Amino acid sequence: MTERSRASVTRDVHEFVVGPSRIHWDGASLVLDLDEIGMPLPQRVRGRVRVWPRGLSTFATALDDGGRHRWGPIAPCARVEVDLQQPGVRWSGEAYLDSNEGDEPIDRPFTDWDWSRASLRDGSTAVIYDVRQKHGGDRVIAQRFSADGAAEPFEAPARQKLPRTLWRIDRHMRNEPGEPARVLHTLEDTPFYVRSMLDSSLLGERVTSVHETLNVPRLMARTTRLMLPWRMPRVK
C-alpha cells in the first residue's frame, strides 16, 4: 500500500484511480487492477483481483456512541479471484468486502476493538464488532448476513482471551463457552494491529474465523508513526 496525494487520485461514476492502480465495477464484479511496489523489501505487485458479490448489503451502523464512525458490509458473502503476474500467485476463495468511514480521527473515541468474520454452513456470514471506547461503555455489534445481503442481529457470546501477539497486544474473541478458540495462523502481526485465522465456535457451529485486533494508542504512538513510512511509503 502506498499513500498518494490528491494529484494522484481521480474518481468518477465508473472507476476510482490511485496512482497506477484502479478499481471499477464491471456490472457483475468489482475489479481491482494493481501495479504497486511492495514494502519493506521492494518488489513489484502487479495483477488483478476480482470480487464477485452474491448479494449487496445496505446495512450500516455506528461504531461509537456519538455516531461519528460507521461501518457496513458491501458484499458480506462473496467470492474472490486473485491473478497476480508479479509475484506469480493465483487462487480463489470465499471473500468479504466492507466499508468504514469517520468524521474525526480514530483515536478520539476508541481505545481498541476486536473484529471477526465467519462463513456459516448455510452460506451466510456472521460478523462481530467488539468495540472499547474512551468514554462510554463497550459496544458489541453482532450481525448475520444472508447471501442476498439481508442482515439479522444475533446475541454475541462471551469474550474469550486469546494469546498475546509477538508485539504484546491483548486480544479477545467472542466465542461460545466450552468451545475454546484456537489461533490457526497469524497473517499480519504489527505493533498496533494483528490479523489471524481462528478455529472458533459460533451460532452452534465450529467455524474458521478471520479475526483482527486494533490497538489505537499503539497506532498513535510516535514510534509507530516513525515506522509507518517504511511499510507505507508516501509519494505525490
Domain ranges of the chain: 9-235
The per-residue pLDDT for range 130-183, each reduced to its tens digit, is: 999 999 999 999 999 999 999 999 999 999 999 999 999 999 999 999 889 999
Give all strands of the β-sheet with 205-215 in edge-to-edge order. 151-153, 139-145, 125-133, 110-119, 205-215, 193-202, 182-189
Per-residue pLDDT of the chain (236 residues; tens, 9 = 90+): 688 999 999 999 999 999 999 999 999 999 999 999 988 888 999 999 999 999 999 999 999 999 999 999 999 999 999 999 999 999 999 999 999 999 999 999 999 999 999 999 999 999 999 999 999 999 999 999 999 999 999 999 999 999 999 999 999 999 999 889 999 999 999 999 999 999 999 999 999 999 999 999 999 999 998 988 888 888 87
Quick check: 79 and 52 in contact, CB under 8 A? yes
233/7 Cα distance (integer angstroms): 16
Which residue's C-alpha cell is 494522484?
Answer: 8
